[in-house]
């Protein structure tokens, strides 16, 4: 059975972001040791063994499902382990010492994520015109404004360095990293509504095609549902990342948009 390991010196790429959960002082007020390394970067770490195991084929049609359990902090040494299951999928974990930070599965078989229906292109609001994130602004089935990213060779090289990616697969004109594609799911949330500190807690993603360097990638998102769980306000987004008319990734993106530490009771919206 295949057993793969990968080690990364974790780097908090979002220290200066609008999301203050990545700021040391704010994160400590929430009970964390320091600013959280973004979940999309931990996801990127988890893609390494899958891309190493299946190569370009996985980037074209594979899938990965990830759940983030405990934070990874800046400067920590993260150990990513992937063990092959009897069905040929990989069971992936991220640990820092004895701390289990993330779990997931990856495969080339039928993805656990159902196909996502087409999402219309809607203009992105200006930053100052964003509504505060709430159960009223994130209504199920509402379509969010389209976000975009120019995958220039320079941007890709900087990203590979930030997430400690060393696979030759991505070098010399190789495809866009799937972790970078998933960043568009984050953008779809944060660029459409005004958030306080918020936390990405998991994603399921399915690859549909390769994205080449130089592509102008777009992300379209629809709110699948919002709900309460353990006092937090959650949102699930369905996201399509595309290069022109070609879908390159579909994802179900899950985030706590209203942590219980700052959210107010909304009895009318109590849920799971």
pTM of the predicted model as reported, rounded to 2 decimal places: 0.94
Taken in order 35, 261, 124, 114, is the CA torsion positive or negative? positive
CATH number of the domain bearing residue 233:
3.10.129.10
Note the pLDDT tens digit of each residue in 177-215: 999 999 999 999 999 999 999 999 999 999 999 999 999
pLDDT band for 266, please (50, 70, 90 cuts): very low
Provide the b/e sequence for 215-231 (b: ≥16 CB within 10 Å).
bebbbbbbbbbbebeee
> How large is the average pLDDT for residues 240-256?
97
By residue range, what is the domain housing residue 16? Answer: 3-269
What 8-state DSSP symbol labels residue 43?
Answer: H
The total number of structural domains that make up the chain: 1
pLDDT band for 3, please (50, 70, 90 cuts): confident
* H/E element, 180: helix 178-190
Give the list of residues 6+ apart from residue 88 with CB closer than 8 angstroms, or none: 107, 108, 109
Average confidence score pLDDT of the chain: 94
Provide the b/e sequence for 119-154 (b: ≥16 CB within 10 Å).
beeeebeeeeebeebbbebbeeeeebbbbebebeee
- As a whole number of angstroms, the distance between CA 139 and CA 63 comes to 27
């Amino acid at each position: 059975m295949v057993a793969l390991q990968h080690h990364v010196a974790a780097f908090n790429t979002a220290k200066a972001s609008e999301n203050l959960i990545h700021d040391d002082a704010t994160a400590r007020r929430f009970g964390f040791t320091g600013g959280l390394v973004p979940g999309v970067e931990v996801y990127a770490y988890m893609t390494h063994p899958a891309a190493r195991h299946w190569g370009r084929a996985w980037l074209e049609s594979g899938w990965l499902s990830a759940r983030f359990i405990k934070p990874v902090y800046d400067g920590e040494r993260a150990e990513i382990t992937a063990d092959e299951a009897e069905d040929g999928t990989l069971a992936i974990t991220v640990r820092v010492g004895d701390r289990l930070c993330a779990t997931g599965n990856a495969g080339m078989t039928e993805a656990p994520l159902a196909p996502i229906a087409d999402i219309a292109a809607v203009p992105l609001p200006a930053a100052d015109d964003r509504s505060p994130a709430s159960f009223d602004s994130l209504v199920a089935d509402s379509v969010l404004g389209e976000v975009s990213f120019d995958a220039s060779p320079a941007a890709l090289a900087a990203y590979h360095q930030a997430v400690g990616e060393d696979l030759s697969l991505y070098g010399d004109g190789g495809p866009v990293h799937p972790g970078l594609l998933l960043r568009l799911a984050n953008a779809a949330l944060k660029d459409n509504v005004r958030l306080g500190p918020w936390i990405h807690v998991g994603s399921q993603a399915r690859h549909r095609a390769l994205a080449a360097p130089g592509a102008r990638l777009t992300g379209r998102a629809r709110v699948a549902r919002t709900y309460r769980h353990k006092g937090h306000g959650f949102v699930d987004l369905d996201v399509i990342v595309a290069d022109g008319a070609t879908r390159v990734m579909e994802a179900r993106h899950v985030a706590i948009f209203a942590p219980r530490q700052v959210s107010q009771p909304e009895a009318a919206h109590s849920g799971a």
